[in-house]
Amino acid sequence: MGNYMEIAKEVKNIVLKHWPKAELYLFGSTVRGVYCFK
């Protein structure tokens, strides 16, 4: 699960760079959360 959390952090950082006000829910739905912003 360590790698998953590292990936989640990277995704969060990337998304926040493009959408500073985006609210992320990183509890098992990282991918769906990212796609919601596309």
pLDDT at 38 over 80: no
**For the chain, how many structural domains are there in total?**
1
CA distance 2 to 21: 26
Could you list the residue range(s) of the whole structural domain that residue 9 is in? 2-36
Confidence at residue 27, expressed as pLDDT on a 0 to 100 scale: 46
Confidence at residue 13, expressed as pLDDT on a 0 to 100 scale: 83
* Residue appearing with tokens 């609210």: 23
* 2-31: pLDDT as tens digits: 677 788 788 878 877 877 666 655 544 555
* Residue appearing with tokens 């509890």: 27
Q: Quote the strand ranges of 1-38, DSSP E.
A: none
Task: Please give the average per-residue pLDDT across 29-36, as a whole number.
Answer: 54
